[in-house]
Amino acid sequence: MMTQSDIIKLFRDVNAFAVPSGEQIILKKGELVRITQALGGSYTLSIHGNLVQIAGEDADAIGREPQRSQFGDLGKSTSPINKELVMNQLKSCYDPEIPINIVDLGLIYDCHLTKSVADEGTDVHIKMTLTAPGCGMGGVIAADAERKVRAIPGVKDVKVELVWEPLWNRDMMTEAARLQLGLM
C-alpha cells in the first residue's frame, strides 16, 4: 500500500503548477515525486527539491484515483443555490503550501449570489484575497475556486475576483485554523 511519504514514479506526463510562482509546467512520465499535501482533491508534490501542484483530475499520474465532483453527474439543474453550499464547496480549495482551506484562512471576503438574467440558474461572484499580494499561486487558487463552484448543479456563471483591501492578516483566520497552525 502506497503512503503519502513514498517516492512515486509518474505513470504519465502531467500538467502542474510550480509553487509559489504559479508557472505551468509539465512533469514527465517516469520522474520521481513525493506527495507533501493531499487536500481538497489537489496534490502538492516535491520534485527535485521544488514544490508543484497537480489537480485531482490528474491523480492517476501518481497512482491515485482521479478526483470527481462530489455532485456526480447531476448536470446543471436550476435548483436554488445558497451561500452555505457555495462556502462549503470553497472549503475544498487549499493553498498548496498551507494545510488550511481558503475559507478558514479568511481569504474569502464576499460571496454574492444572483439569479441569472435568463433564469437559467445562479450567478456567483466571489471576492477573495491571498495571504501575500506577491503570491504567484493566486491565479491557480482562484481558478480552483471557480472550477469547484462551477461544478455545483444550478450554478450558471462564476466570477472570482482577487482583491487586496483590506490586506489579509492572521486575525482573519478562524480560531480552528489558528489552532491548527499553532498560532494560539
Does residue 55 carry a pLDDT above 60?
Answer: yes
Give, as one character, the DSSP assignment of residue 111: E
| pLDDT tens per residue, range 68-127 | 666 654 444 545 789 999 999 999 999 888 889 999 999 999 999 998 777 678 999 999
Domains of the chain (ranges, CATH numbers): 7-62 (2.30.30), 83-180 (3.30.300.130)
**Integer CA distances (angstroms), 105 to 90, 102, 129, in order:** 11, 5, 10
Cell 492578516 identifies what position? 169
Q: How many C-beta atoms surround the C-beta of residue 155 within 10 A? A: 22
Does residue 1 carry a pLDDT above 60?
Answer: no
Does residue 136 carry a pLDDT above 80?
Answer: yes
pTM of this prediction? 0.79
Does residue 8 carry a pLDDT above 90?
Answer: yes
Nearest to 101 by CA among 46, 33, 36, 174: 174
Contact 84, 113 (CB under 8 A): no
**Mean pLDDT, the chain, as a whole number?**
88
